[in-house]
Amino acid sequence: MTVRVLVVDDQQPFRDVAREVVESTDGFEITAEADSGSAAVQLASVLRPDLVLMDVNLPDMSGTVATRKIVEADPRVVVVLVSTYEESDYAPQAAECGAAGYISKSVFSPTRLADAWASAGQTCHTG
C-alpha cells in the first residue's frame, strides 16, 4: 500500500520541501497540493487521501477548521498539522480539532513523517 498525501500550505517553498520529504519517504506519494483550507476540504472529499499535511495558518480558514471539516467528512483520513511554531504550542490544539498530530516545519523530515503516520496507528507496506 502506498500512503497518498495531500499537502496543504499557502507558501510554495514549504510545499516544495514537503514534496521532497514525501517523495523521499518509502511508501508515500503526493496525491495533490492545495494552498488554502477550502481547497483542502474540497480536494480531500474528491481524492480521499490517506494523509493530509495541513498548515495551521491558511488565508481563508485556519488549518484547524479545515482539519475538523475533513475529519468529520471522512474519519479515515489522517491529518497532521504543520507550522513554524514549536510542537508544544500546537500539539494540544491539533488533538482538539481531530488531527492525529503536529510537526514543526523546522524538524519536518522523512523520519518525522513516517513517525506521525505510525503514531496515528497506521502502517505502510511498500513494494
pTM exceeds cut of 0.95: no
CA–CA dist 125, 55 (Å, integer): 26
- The SS3 assignment for 88 reads helix
- pLDDT cut 90: percent of the chain above it: 64
- pLDDT cut 70: percent of the chain above it: 88
Q: Dump pLDDT digits (tens) for 109-123.
A: 999 898 889 888 654
pLDDT at residue 92, as a whole number? 66
Amino acid identity at 88:
S
Q: Which domains does the chain have, with CATH numbers?
A: 3-119 (3.40.50.2300)
Share the mean pLDDT of the chain: 88
Per DSSP, what are the bridge partners of residue 29? 4
- The SS3 assignment for 26 reads coil
CA–CA dist 13, 43 (Å, integer): 20
Q: Dump pLDDT digits (tens) for 55-98.
A: 999 999 999 999 999 999 999 999 999 988 766 666 666 777 88
CA 25 distance to own-chain centroid: 14
